[in-house]
Copies of this chain bind each other. A is one copy, B any other.
């Protein structure tokens, strides 16, 4: 997840991620990060300018990782529906197999703690752009209704986030079947064929 960082930075980022998710930000002190990561506080400040900086670096790294994770399975030659399915499946997989990173992004993507600059940088490497492109294609091919791709992606991402929250709280078992039903519902939600009879 943090391959582009050196050993010390990686230890700090990994530790911080674990601590923030397990204990909340307020309980994640620099001295705890130092202790758990095996890096002295002094040395942490050699590699990061502040605690905020760690959080922001973490944010960017995870968004990038997630972006690569989702896009590496996409194949432009596939049908739109196939791409749609693969992409969202990857997002769900992220939520299930890399829950800490997923939850971190979910918690901090609207936080004032993350600089606008970080969000911008992150956007370029994340999966939102590619995902919106898929929706754009679906619209162009007459498959989806003419809504803002950004809006549709946000709605469906929101659904996934809440499904995963329910899953993590044991309110709902997110089996392969349930996932499939969810993805189908996403598709139907914005598919052109059928409307809401008024």
Contacts and interface: CB of A to CB of B under 8 A. Distances in A.
Interface of A: 23-26, 81, 110-113, 145, 147-148, 150-152, 154-163, 165-166, 169, 171-172, 178, 181-191, 193-196
Contacts of A113: 24
B196 A194 contact: no
A190 B185 contact: yes
A161 B157 CA distance: 10
A86 to B, nearest CB: 14
Contacts of A81: 196
Contact of A172 (B148, B160, B166, B196): B148
A24 B111 contact: yes
B161 A162 contact: yes
Contacts of A181: 145, 147
24 contacts: A24-B113, A25-B26, A81-B196, A148-B172, A151-B166, A152-B185, A155-B159, A155-B182, A156-B159, A157-B162, A158-B158, A158-B159, A158-B160, A158-B161, A158-B162, A158-B165, A159-B159, A161-B161, A184-B195, A188-B188, A188-B190, A188-B194, A189-B189, A191-B196
Give the dominant DSSP class at A's interface.
helix
Nearest to A22: B112
Contacts of A186: 189
Q: 8 closest Cβ contacts across the A-B interface?
A: A158-B162, A189-B189, A158-B158, A155-B159, A185-B189, A194-B194, A184-B196, A154-B162
Contacts of A182: 151, 155
Contact of A163 (B155, B171, B193): B155
A172 B120 CA distance: 17
